[in-house]
Amino acid sequence: MHMNNFLFRSADFLSRPPGFYAVVVAMVACTLLVPFGLTNAVTYVLSVAAIIITGVVLIQGYRDTAAIHAKLDEIIVSLKETRNNVVGLEHEDPDRIKTKVDQLEAEANAAATNARGRRS
């Protein structure tokens, strides 16, 4: 649990302007060390920084996606006439998701066709 807190706090810091500036300063500092023969160390540090930044992007993406799903689930549950069987669909296996999406698209197309038929 402590590691998760550390990772989320790090991702939060690095995804904001002060964190970005800290990364830029670190990269400039590493670049300034190259003339002193520390090319291997600079390469190592920048490689590790790239891996960390990739992790930050993945963590932020996970958090954003989880928040969006929670908000959509809340909307689905709050609307009385909706079917709640799609809540939590993001946790299902890809085949089940595809089947459900295909079913929903077919229903939407049928509803659109019926609506056009009534207007004619």
Determine the average pLDDT of the residues in 58-70. 81
**Helix 17-33 × helix 2-14 angle, to 10°:** 80
CA distance 52 to 35: 25
Residues 3-62: tens digit of each pLDDT: 778 877 888 888 788 988 988 898 888 888 888 888 888 888 888 888 888 888 888 788
CA distance 82 to 109: 17
* Mean predicted lDDT score pLDDT of the chain: 81
Contacts 24+ apart (CB under 8 A), 16-20: none
**pLDDT-derived band at 1, boundaries 50, 70, 90:** low
